[in-house]
Amino acid sequence: MPVLLMFACGALLATGIVLAVRWSGERFVAPQRPAALARRADAASEAVSEAESDAASGAVRPSARHLAGLRVYAWWATVLTVLGTLSGLLVTGAGGRLVMRMLAATSPGATGRSTEAEAIVGEITPEGTLAYLVFGALPFAFASAALYLLVEPWLPRGRFGGAAFGLVLLVCVAPFVDPLRAANVDFDIVGPGWLSVLAFATLAVLHGAFLAAVAGRLSRSLPLVSRRRWVGPLSPLLAAIVLLPVGVALAVGALAAFVAPRVLPWFLDLRASRAGVLVGRVLLGLGVLASLPTFVSGVFSIVQR
């Protein structure tokens, strides 16, 4: 069973690497704004019934505007769910498990000892892998996917954008949360430290590259929800059921998008505007500079153990 489990993790990670490389040139394309969709829906309504007063005056009916906002929100929610699920399974899940196994193999003296998460070094079980996936890999994957969709316009254009995002995560998140938190006693058990840093840094860069590649590919192939075509665009949202907090957050977001359909597109346009991109890049730079001392200190601490 342990061999089969590691083989499965290796196959999943290899799939993630192939997708990240194959789709590395894909450019992220956002869907139409709700206002444009609402005008199209209103124009179609005029063709059916020219007697309606609001259609005759060219006004966009509130119901059309609200439904258009919900359609756009559903598109973003589906992209987020696909990114979080796939990256959690193929990269942070499978890749993280393989790194843990590698560090256990390079530290034979640690076999049988308990880690900070109360796992036993050297034991490879389906239960432990599932627990790591549900409580560790998937939450991080969903959070990083949401962050990527937020900062995507601020990243460098081209193939380096995803890798740059991975480096930002490595510097700004890894030293404070994990996996390169210096206070983590696991680095006193397994190692060597330089191998831990190298493995997790590589995984972070791959994670960023995977998010960018899949997001770009998906954005160009995922259609908006319509009356005739809704099963395909919405079916990935079922994956959010696995993580109940994600499902609840998406449901609350859907309600907000329906009630206030102008808020989401206004925010998305603002972050992608020239001023928004400039401010966003400054914020990212400041975040990296503020986190860099802690990151460097943590890396030195881990390497010296």
Instruction: Report yes or no: 233 and 224 within 8 Å, Cβ to Cβ.
Output: yes
Specify the higher pLDDT residue, 157 or 32. Answer: 157
pLDDT score at 188: 85
Judged by DSSP in three states, 137 sits in helix
Q: Is the pLDDT assigned to residue 73 strictly greater than 90?
A: no
pLDDT score at 33: 65
Q: How many CB atoms lie within 10 A of CB 123?
A: 12
Specify the higher pLDDT residue, 299 or 42. Answer: 299
How many C-alpha atoms does 161 have within 13 Å on its Cβ side?
Answer: 24
Q: How many CB atoms lie within 10 A of CB 184?
A: 17
pTM of the model: 0.86
What pLDDT, in 10s, does the model give residues 235-274? Answer: 767 777 767 788 888 888 888 888 887 888 888 889 999 9
Q: How far apart are CA 22 and CA 41, in angstroms?
A: 37
pLDDT score at 303: 92
H-state helical runs in the chain: 2-22, 34-48, 53-56, 62-87, 94-105, 126-132, 138-151, 160-172, 193-221, 231-234, 244-259, 263-272, 274-303
Q: What are the domain boundaries of the chain?
A: 2-13+64-303
Q: Is the pLDDT assigned to residue 41 strictly greater than 80?
A: no
Listed range (25-39, 117-131, 200-214) with the worst mean pLDDT: 25-39
The CA-based dihedral angle spanning residues 286, 287, 290, 296, taken in that order and rounded to the nearest 10 degrees: -120
What pLDDT, in 10s, does the model give residues 129-180? Answer: 888 888 889 999 999 999 999 999 999 988 899 999 999 999 999 999 888 9
Listed range (68-77, 206-215, 227-236, 290-299) with the worst mean pLDDT: 227-236
Q: Is the pLDDT assigned to residue 291 strictly greater than 50?
A: yes
Specify the higher pLDDT residue, 230 or 178. Answer: 178
pLDDT score at 131: 85
